[in-house]
Structure 1
Amino acid sequence: MSTSTSTYTAANSVAIVGLGWLGEPLALTLLAQGYAVSGSTTCQDKAKRLAKAGIQTQVWNINAPLPPVWSATLAAHTLVLCVPPGKVDDYANILGQVARLATSSGVQRILFTSATSVYAGIGHKIEADAAPDSARGERMLAAEQAVQGCGAQVLCLRLSGLVGGSREPGRFLAGRSFDGGNEPINLVAQEDLLRFIPAILAKEDWPSRFNMSAPHHPSRRDFYSQAAEFRDLPAPQFSGGGQGKTIDGSALSEWLGLDYQVTNWFDWLAERNKQHED
């Protein structure tokens, strides 16, 4: 991993650690908007492909021992940490180390893609309500705290369930049995992420956290049954009711002055199915 102690603070420079389902299309979106974009991946072939597209790409597995100084390839004004917890052995500790290393090199801001697993129980949830009741939620909240302690300006973007692109919701639960059919869904589409995150990067007055969740919350039974039907897959079977929690993503929308594109998940499913058939 090439390293450098120099800083690169041009305001339009962004490095994305984790060029995966979200990170790769985000990098391409930002590049098209005039940003200087770099990023990291564990895949050599992907690194070569993205480099040809104009994205400086570092092959890096952050589970390996961290370098003493930040990579010259990833030198940037803003860092987007886009690494899901399943990809990292000691999630909070390692992400905290990565954030501190980046900050020591001159990174000014960090956008951390967290998750709404930090919320527990039932009912309406806003940003102040974080109180995890699962190991995943506790790990995510610990990671938020570790990244926020790095010394840079940090915004934790708590994402609801991710759909769109290669993430086909019709396949998620097809043919399986679950409890809690009446529980509301909390999802965010890739297309809205690719609209909202660039808008966040264009702002300067970052708060410490925001939820991102589409404003429509139909039941799991209704949504996943319809999603499976559109893909000609066996419908999931739900027993019991369940109240669940509803994630409120309106504060981010209001702060940006930007409405969610997906306001009805059944319309979204129908349009996605139409595109699939075409």
Structure 2
Amino acid sequence: MSTELRTESNLEPNVVIMGLGWLGEPLAKTLHARGYRVAGTTTSQEKAERLRLEGIKARVWDINAPLPSAWPADLVANTLVLCVPPGKVDDYADTLGRVASLAARVGVQRLLFTSATSVYGGLGCKTEADAAPDSPRGERMLAAEQAVRHSGMAQVLCLRLSGLVGGSREPGRFLAGRRFDGGEEPVNLVAQEDLLRFIPAILARHDWPDVLNVSAPHHPSRREFYTRAALLRDLPAPLFDGGGEGKRIDGSALSRWLGLDYRVTDWFAWLAARKAQG
């Protein structure tokens, strides 16, 4: 176990990640490499077997199936990380609330919920205090935050993630060749590589706030970013109609609290470096 883990947290490094997907799997591998004992869930038997060979206990669990009457013994940990996107769960808020309650009953102490910045509606700059959704997705996400907060878990941090890029998520493909409104709206994004730096640093601390935004400090327009992203991948550029003020997510509180800067501070440089890597 690293000196960093021993000195920065009085909690044993023991984490279970529900949802070993785009974020959960590389997070599990990152934590395992840092000395955490990591377990998690996936819907794929093949992935579960592969991860077990890599030292990560993985259980096959379909969250849409009827929940067990008790939390599985092999998933008991100090900290539960919920990495389950709403598109994959029926009755999202209720299901996540019941999952968190099951975990709390067996002594899981902390819950890190990967929420989303869709909880912010309207225009202008948005900080953690400004949650007021204006879309069904945002309302569903805010309801899920409230459900896990009322689950009986001793400590809950809702990490509101901006748009996710990096890894297998290639932004050049997102909008290529399609037509959209709001070309001048700012993009709010976070790279997988920054999440894999921030989340371990969060887990190593015990003075969690209730909520934090995660959004890189560079907010070019949708037109600029997605056009550049598509052309760098030799894909047709998207077409945009109109302008639009949009909203800009302020992710600076996280950086100040952790004393850790975002690595991605220029999305155009990030796109070029990603292209150079192949």
TM-score, normalised with respect to structure 1:
0.96
Q: Is the 8 A contact 2:178 2:239 kept in 1?
A: yes
Once superposed, which parts of structure 1, at least 4 consecutive aligned residues long, lie more than 2 Å away? none
CA distance in 2, matches of 1:19, 1:52: 15
Within 2, Cα distance between the matches of 1:17 and 1:250? Answer: 27
Who is 1:142 aligned against? 143
Which residue in 2 is equivalent to 1:190? 192
Give 1:88's aligned residue: 89
Total equivalences in the alignment: 268
The CA deviation at 1:20 is 0.1
Deviations 1:208-264 (A, max 9, x none): 100000000000000000000110000000010000000000000000000000000
Trace 1:123-272 onto structure 2 (pairs within 5 A).
123-152=124-153, 153-272=155-274
Deviations 1:71-124 (A, max 9, x none): 112110000000000000110000000000000011000000000000001100
What are the ranges of 5 or more consecutive residues in structure 2 without an aligned counterpart? Answer: 1-9
Root-mean-square deviation (CA, aligned residues, Å) is: 0.9
Q: CA deviation at 1:10?
A: 6.5
State whether residues 11 and 206 of structure 2, in contact with CA within 8 Å, keep that contact through their aligned partners in structure 1: no
Name the CA distance, whole Å, in 1 between partners of 2:269 and 2:71.
45
Task: Report what 2:6 is aligned to.
Answer: none
Percent sequence identity over aligned pairs: 73
Partner in structure 2 of residue 31 of structure 1: 32
Q: TM-score, normalised by structure 2?
A: 0.96
In the aligned structure 2, how far is the partner of 1:106 from the partner of 1:18? 20
Aligned residues of 1:10 and 1:76 also touching (Cα < 8 A)? no
SS, match of residue 73 in structure 1: helix
Identify the residue that residue 14 of structure 1 maps to in structure 2.
15
Question: Aligned partners of 1:263, 1:126: CA distance in 2, in Å?
Answer: 18
Deviation at 1:140, TM superposition (A): 0.1
Deviation per CA, 1:139-175: give whole Å up to 9, x if none.
Answer: 0000000001112200000000000000000000000
Distance in 2 of aligned mates of 1:222 and 1:249: 21
